[in-house]
Amino acid sequence: MNVQLSPDERADLVVKEMTLAEKISLLHGTGMKDLSPMSPLAAQSNGGAGYVVGIPRLGIPGIQMSDAAYGVRHSGDNGRYSTALPDDLAGAASWDLDAAYEYGALIGRELRDQGYNMSLGGGVNLAREPRDGRTFEYMGEDPLLAGKMVAQLINGTQAQHVLGDIKHYALNDQESGRNAVNVNIDKRSMRETDLLAFEIGLRESNAAAVMCSYNRANGAYACENKYLLRDVLKKAWNFNGFVLSDWGGTHSAAEASAAGLDHEEPGELFYGAELEKAVNSGRVPLAELDDHVHRILRSMFATGVIDDPTRRSVVDVVRGFEVAQKIAEQSIVLLKNDRAQLPLDASQLRTIAVIGAHSDVGMLSGGGSAQVDPPGGNAIAPPGAGRTTWQAHVWFPTSPLKAIRARAPGAKVQYDPGADLTSAAALAKTADVAIVFAHQWESEGMDLETLSLPEHQDDGGGCQHPLWRRQPSAKLPITFPKSDADLPHPTLVKPPKRSTMEPSSPEPWKAIAKGLPAFQVTYDEGLKVGYKWYDAERKEVLFPFGYGLSYTSYSYSNLKLTSGKTVRVSFRLTNTGPRAGAEIAQVYAALPASAGEPPKRLVGWSKVKLDPGESKSVTIEIDPWYLSVFDINRDAWQLQSGEYKFLVGGSSRSLPLEESINLK
């Protein structure tokens, strides 16, 4: 407990004192209904997804884990309250690293207040397959944006002395058949796309943990995948935290241990008696076991959960609302503004039609283990039936209709549910303006059939715009293609029946633990994820990556490149419109042709605040790493020599400035 010593030294001292049984107890959870048998010790759980017993005689507290994607989960069942933030994808749309930090800090504070010392947030799987039901839990399609944002989220959480986690490592890009699917992808592509988001995330944070995913990757389960865990994560990236399995994602003891899995969740199907036996028989070397234990203790010391244990407190509801609103305001993407109709001036409106998506009573939320419980229960459930169950469509009881009425007290504001297009259109016709809310529910454990909106909402051609926003400044972290047919895989590969579980089967976890028969998904688009695909295939898109309008306008000029240790990209940005605004200026690079890369990649950005008429000179330093390719022969990142073209502008498809430079 000597705080002068390093976390590694402190962890070593504890490991030396531990019995084998104590070591094993730190390497698994205490069980969860439907996923593993429950230990009687689970009674001490704080009500979250995971609980690991502590070692009181050595001053080591238990680990109380909770899901916390866009807020702390399970508040309903536990009789608590937590703030629902805009979802993670919305957070990424802010391109605002400070907002990401605040996002994570709020989650950290509310976890602590509720008695948790570990977050299971930090989802950063790339939107390689945008129909993935968890797209809302992740941070878009670009590894640099996603990696930098998740790092700040983790830093915010861990500053509250809560263990942070980045997940789901790796290539868990579709939910359909997630416990069985084998993802096939070449090494270079995986390192430069999905894995790069994790690599950047870990380099810029000190995440305590990485959660390995359910799927197989190139033949081996992610949680016993030597390449992913040992060679890349622990050796190449020097990750010194611990790897925990997704819930039911462990499939062996000795094999997983050798591959680099440190901890099993939620129970001890493999990392209890079986691991102990493997150690006693010498199949798992004691040094390997000690390394697992060391990593967990080291992270606990480094993050401060031992020196500063949780003290329960009342969640600061008001502060939560303030942070959530601030982040929402940084996250709203304005896609169209025909005839400059927006922003609306409430004093000029006599009649307003509000249409669709239960906007009279509620706002939809994302489901699955990300689900945050609404205060007061589900707004559209019958009274008394407001409990959130797995994959229920949960509407928070907050009324856009009421908010609009409050903002436009002089106007007659009428509501139509939008279910009957004729009646909705008739109401819209009578109004000065129609504000149409659209919805698309998503959840863990399912994928979308199509990117089109459900329930014929696209037939109406809707868009949503709160009245009060004066300065939308967010940009899309994901491409909106014209149709499913333009996706790298127009049809999502569904698991054959033998690779799914019968929902009715008793103890379904037994089949998962044993391993469901694999089916294949092949990411042959390789490096071409998101905008890189549409660029390379020369496809028109509906709205490009990085796109978003503002109520003002900007001009870009005077691009200058200088190279030294980094490349410095300088340019002038001017607000040419009538309002103050914040522009997200983006820098893309086209690598030398010899690199064999997609046409361009994001290499930096800056969010710049400008008053009307104001002009600023902006300099963005580009880390040479972001200009490199992964050389599989050298097993390392490599900067190619040759001509690099830098493109600067307000979206991936609006890049007015370009200039080339020779490197090396």
Interface residue list for ligand BGC (CB under 6 A): 49, 67, 120, 167, 246-247, 369, 444
Helices (H), 365-507: 400-407, 421-430, 457-460
Closest CB 35 distance from ligand BGC, rounded Å: 8
Residue 414 or 499: the one with the smaller Cβ distance to ligand BGC is 499
Residue 170 or 629: the one with the smaller Cβ distance to ligand BGC is 170
Class of residue 489 by CB neighbours under 10 A (exposed 0-12, middle 13-18, buried 19+): middle
Closest CB 306 distance from ligand BGC, rounded Å: 23
What's the DSSP call for residue 554?
E
Round the CA-based radius of gyration of the chain to a whole number and report it: 25
Residue 445 or 656: the one with the smaller Cβ distance to ligand BGC is 445
Instruction: Establish whether 484 is a catalytic residue.
Output: no
With CA atoms as reference, report the closest residue to 82 among 385, 391, 389, 373.
373
Residue 367 or 581: the one with the smaller Cβ distance to ligand BGC is 367
Closest CB 322 distance from ligand BGC, rounded Å: 27
With CA atoms as reference, report the closest residue to 185 among 525, 438, 506.
525
Residue 36 or 359: the one with the smaller Cβ distance to ligand BGC is 36
Q: Where are the beta strands (DSSP E) in 591-628?
A: 601-610, 615-622
CB atoms within 10 A of CB 384: 7
Residue 276 or 447: the one with the smaller Cβ distance to ligand BGC is 447
Choice among 67, 165, 173, 246 that is catalytic = 246
Closest CB 48 distance from ligand BGC, rounded Å: 8
3-state secondary structure of 558: strand
Burial 306-344 (b: 16+ CB within 10 A, else e): beeebeeeebeeeebeebbeebbbbbbbbeeeeeeebbb
CB 66 within 8 A of CB 113: no
Q: Which residues pair with 481 in a beta bridge?
A: 541
Residue 48 or 362: the one with the smaller Cβ distance to ligand BGC is 48
Angle at 330 between CA 91 and CA 465, to 5 degrees: 105
CB 182 within 8 A of CB 519: yes
Closest CB 132 distance from ligand BGC, rounded Å: 12
Closest CB 296 distance from ligand BGC, rounded Å: 17
Closest CB 209 distance from ligand BGC, rounded Å: 11
Q: How far apart are CA 381 and CA 383, in angstroms?
A: 6
With CA atoms as reference, report the closest residue to 395 among 412, 375, 409, 410.
375
Closest CB 64 distance from ligand BGC, rounded Å: 13
Q: How far apart are CA 292 and CA 242, in angstroms?
A: 7
Residue 149 or 627: the one with the smaller Cβ distance to ligand BGC is 149
Please report the DSSP string for 500-521 in residue order: S--TTSSSHHHHHHH-PPPEEE
Spatial CB neighbours of 417, under 8 Å, sequence gap ≥ 6: 355, 356, 358, 360, 424
Own/partner pairs for 421-427, CB < 8 Å, 24+ apart? Answer: 421/456, 421/459, 421/460, 424/353, 424/355, 424/356, 424/460, 425/460, 427/353, 427/355
CB closest to ligand BGC, residue no: 49
What's the DSSP call for residue 369?
G
Q: How far apart are CA 96 and CA 531, in angstroms?
A: 20
Residue 67 or 110: the one with the smaller Cβ distance to ligand BGC is 67
Closest CB 435 distance from ligand BGC, rounded Å: 34
CB 218 within 8 A of CB 186: no
Name the strands in the sheet holding 63-66, side by side, starting at the edge strand that comes first in the sequence.
50-52, 63-66, 118-119
Catalytic residue numbers read: 246
